[in-house]
């Protein structure tokens, strides 16, 4: 028997609320299959199964909030048979006093009438229907009443919860991680010229933005200098099994998430661009998967679209590094002994001094710079 626990989807997640089950007892499930939707402080997340097996029992109901690590379902392992179930004795009928029946009837009459769809949606949104005033015939609480109540409550509650979750994670980071910081201004003349030529001869769906080029350069550099790609756990560095870049994405309602782009170093620029666009859209629509929120091995933040020249990041524990890019802008530059105007970007590295040192970090930034001088090889 396998107990499936509510997974942690990041250092800033302590609990989650079940919004929907995607499975039923008796269903066969496989690794990577979406089995539930859980609401966290940041977003509604599709939770994937980590095992192959058969669903035996769902342990919590829709609308239930539980801490991370709580068993939420049990699975039978492949080949495991159903355990024998001891019959539960049928309780003897209990006579209900007439006074209790009258009191129950009066209580029912005082509660608002609720449509089935509205009751289900209220459970998903953790809304108490007894507090709603119905707009339907004879005061029935409708689905629209519940949605209206959810729209009024959600922005404030979710934003407050998200800011709290971010504050907890960042406070832990600054308290536990000995950060060091490095900067380098990287020339992008070759990269921007190549990108312009590439996009001019490509179909719209194959065009690449500078952000994808920078992500791919980071991933390729990490392949050469892997000590920045991993986690600090149990007082030791643990290298990641793949280069999964957490991409910091600002949400429309405020706050941010950093879901993972998987195996970036092994993909073409067109693939990176396509997956990045999909990730941003799904993050802002609240349809991320649990693996995307838990797999990132290093985070990249790009604030150039906000007009800032550079960014000093805070490492997201248990990761050991964060790479930042400012805006791409033209600066005076000396090239081959001649003064010219060069598109450049200020690249920063925030790293954990327990896992690496300044010399290693400088080598990493130098490798990012070197890779960006030959963008045709990315």
3-state DSSP assignment of residue 307: coil
The pLDDT of residue 28 is above 70:
yes
Phi and psi (nearest 5°) for 107?
-65, -40
Q: What is the pLDDT of residues 225-268, one digit of tens each?
A: 999 999 999 999 999 999 999 999 988 767 788 999 999 999 99
Q: For residue 242, what are the CA distances in angstroms to 71, 226, 262?
A: 28, 10, 8
What is the CATH code of the structural domain delimited by 2-76? 2.40.50.100
Position 103 confidence tier, pLDDT thresholds 50, 70, 90: very low
What is the CATH code of the structural domain delimited by 178-377? 3.30.559.10
Q: What is the pLDDT of residues 32-47, one digit of tens each?
A: 899 999 888 767 788 9
The pLDDT of residue 207 is above 80:
yes
Position 374 confidence tier, pLDDT thresholds 50, 70, 90: very high
> How large a percentage of the chain has pLDDT more than 90?
56
pLDDT at 321: 98
From CA 264, how far away is CA 56, in angstroms rounded? 37
Q: What is the pLDDT of residues 54-87, one digit of tens each?
A: 999 999 999 888 888 899 999 998 888 766 544 4
pLDDT at 12: 64
Q: What is the arithmetic mean of pLDDT over 81-107?
A: 48
Contact 291, 263 (CB under 8 A): no
pLDDT at 86: 43
Q: What is the pLDDT of residues 141-159, one digit of tens each?
A: 888 888 777 766 555 556 6
The pLDDT of residue 118 is above 50:
yes
**178-377: same fold as 2-76?**
no
Average pLDDT for the chain = 86
Higher-pLDDT residue of 14, 67: 67
Higher-pLDDT residue of 110, 237: 237
- Domain coordinates of the chain in residue numbers? 2-76, 178-377
Poorest-pLDDT segment among 43-57, 321-335, 353-367:
43-57
Q: What is the DSSP string of 88-142?
A: PPPPPP-PPPHHHHHHHHHHHHHSPPB-HHHHHHHHHHT--GGGPPP-SGGGPBP
């Amino acid at each position: 028997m396998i107990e499936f626990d509510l997974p942690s989807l990041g250092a800033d997640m302590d609990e989650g609320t079940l919004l929907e089950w995607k499975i039923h007892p008796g269903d066969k499930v496989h690794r990577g299959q979406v089995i539930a939707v859980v609401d966290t402080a940041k977003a509604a997340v599709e939770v994937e199964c980590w095992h192959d097996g058969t669903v035996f029992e769902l342990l919590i109901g829709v609308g239930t909030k539980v801490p991370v690590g709580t068993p939420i379902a049990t699975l039978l392992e492949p080949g495991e048979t159903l355990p024998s179930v001891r019959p539960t004795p049928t309780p003897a009928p209990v006579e209900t006093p007439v006074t209790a029946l009258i009191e129950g009837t009066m209580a029912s009459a005082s509660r608002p009438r609720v449509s089935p769809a509205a009751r289900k949606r209220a459970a998903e949104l953790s809304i108490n229907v007894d507090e709603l005033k119905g707009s339907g015939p004879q005061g029935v609480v409708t689905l629209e009443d519940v949605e209206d109540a959810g729209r009024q409550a959600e922005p404030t509650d979710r934003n407050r919860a998200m800011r709290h979750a971010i504050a907890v994670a960042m406070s832990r980071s600054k308290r536990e991680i000995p950060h060091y910081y490095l900067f380098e201004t990287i020339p992008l003349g070759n990269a921007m010229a190549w990108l312009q030529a590439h996009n001019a001869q490509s179909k719209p769906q194959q065009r690449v933005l500078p952000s994808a080029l920078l992500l791919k350069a980071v991933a390729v550099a990490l392949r050469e200098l892997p000590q920045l790609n991993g986690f600090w756990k149990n007082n030791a560095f643990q290298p990641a099994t793949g280069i999964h870049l957490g991409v910091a994405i600002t949400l429309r309602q405020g706050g941010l998430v950093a879901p993972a782009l998987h195996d970036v170093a092994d993909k073409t620029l067109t693939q990176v661009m396509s997956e990045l666009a999909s990730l941003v859209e799904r993050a802002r629509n609240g349809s991320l998967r649990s693996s995307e929120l838990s797999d990132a091995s290093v985070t990249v933040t790009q604030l150039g679209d906000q007009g800032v020249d550079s960014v000093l990041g805070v490492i997201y524990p248990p990761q050991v590094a964060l790479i930042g890019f400012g805006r791409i802008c033209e600066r005076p530059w000396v090239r081959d002994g001649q003064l010219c105007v060069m598109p450049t970007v200020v690249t920063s590295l925030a790293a954990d001094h327990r896992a690496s040192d300044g010399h290693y970090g400088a080598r990493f930034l130098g490798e990012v710079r070197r890779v960006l001088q030959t963008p045709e090889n990315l």
